[in-house]
Copies of this chain bind each other. A is one copy, B any other.
Amino acid sequence: MTTELNNRAGLSPSQARELFRAGTVVPTSGFSHGFAQANLLSLPKEDAFDFLLFAQRNPKPCPLLGVLEPGQVSSELLNGGDIRTDIPAYRLFRDGELVEEATDATAWWREDMVSFLIGCSFTFEAALLDNGVPVAHIAQERNVPMYRTTIQTNPAGRFAGPLVVSMRPIPAGQVADAVRITSRYPAVHGAPVHVGDPAAIGIEDLGAPDFGESVAIAEGEIPVFWACGVTPQAVVMDSRPTLAISHSPGHMLVTDARDLAYQVP
């Protein structure tokens, strides 16, 4: 296993999923270079229309890469895999409360569960690096810092709640490049939602993120904020559906879809 973790970038998506299915629990950043990773949210069928509509109305935080119909546990995004076992770690929410974490969600499963696979910003981070734009949390070997904001999502049916954003400090002279490059990836959060002034979106202290880890911001860098795939978990906490299953933050589904499939010219 140590060998496999040392070669994480070179693992195929199915090899990575097999490792996680066998019980390895690590964040998935850096696994299977060139392949897209996804956030998971599974809900009972009774709440699925409302959440699908919520995602349609909030494409920046909730860009859907795929939706599995009631009871379905695999799709072409995880060819031959099982959505209940192939992610390193899962979270169980009952009435909006986080009640349990586990490496296997099979015991929580119901036949009427609909699973939403939501794009993640790992894809555009590779494009930023390829274009010479530094990504601080990768350089500093930390999880990306994420914050609840005072920006509200567009409600749909029973779902409403705050937008969660990720933050990357970008050198002032490269902010325009970061906007241009990430705009080309609308399926993985796309262009930033806010540039500079954290207080304007309700973030009091960049050093104290609500999720992930803080990063050092160098002289001459501007904080740039992108919509984040943790938003559905914040919305579940606010909207309190009877049952919801998600991945644990940073522990994503490694899919068989190529990063480049989500680039527009």
Binding site for B on A (CB under 8 A): 45, 48-49, 52-53, 56-57, 64, 67, 69, 156-157, 180, 183-184, 186, 190, 264-265
Ranked 7 nearest A-B pairs via Cβ: A49-B49, A183-B265, A52-B52, A264-B264, A56-B64, A53-B67, A56-B67
Across the interface, which residues of B come within 8 angstroms of A49, CB to CB? 45, 48-49, 52
A265 lies within 8 A of B180 (CB): yes
Across the interface, which residues of B come within 8 angstroms of A264, CB to CB? 183-184, 186, 190, 264
A239 to chain B, nearest CB (A): 15
On whether A265 and B56 interact (CB within 8 A), knowing A49-B48, A156-B69, A157-B69, the answer reads: no
Known: A52-B56, A56-B56. 15 other contacts (CB 8 A): A45-B49, A48-B49, A49-B52, A52-B53, A53-B67, A53-B69, A56-B67, A69-B156, A69-B157, A183-B264, A184-B264, A184-B265, A186-B264, A190-B264, A264-B264
A185 to chain B, nearest CB (A): 9
Across the interface, which residues of B come within 8 angstroms of A56, CB to CB? 52, 56, 64, 67
CA distance A156 to B49 in the complex (A): 13
Q: Which residue of B lies closest to A45 (CB)?
A: B49
CA distance A209 to B262 in the complex (A): 32
CA distance A144 to B64 in the complex (A): 31
Across the interface, which residues of B come within 8 angstroms of A64, CB to CB? 56
CA distance A153 to B198 in the complex (A): 44
CA distance A69 to B157 in the complex (A): 8
Q: Which residue of B lies closest to A190 (CB)?
A: B264
Considering residues A48, A52, A184, A186, which has the most beta carbons from chain B within 10 angstroms of its beta carbon?
Answer: A52
Across the interface, which residues of B come within 8 angstroms of A184, CB to CB? 264-265
Q: Which residue of B lies closest to A48 (CB)?
A: B49
CA distance A45 to B49 in the complex (A): 9
A27 to chain B, nearest CB (A): 28
CA distance A157 to B67 in the complex (A): 11
CA distance A177 to B156 in the complex (A): 38
CA distance A183 to B263 in the complex (A): 10
CA distance A56 to B52 in the complex (A): 9
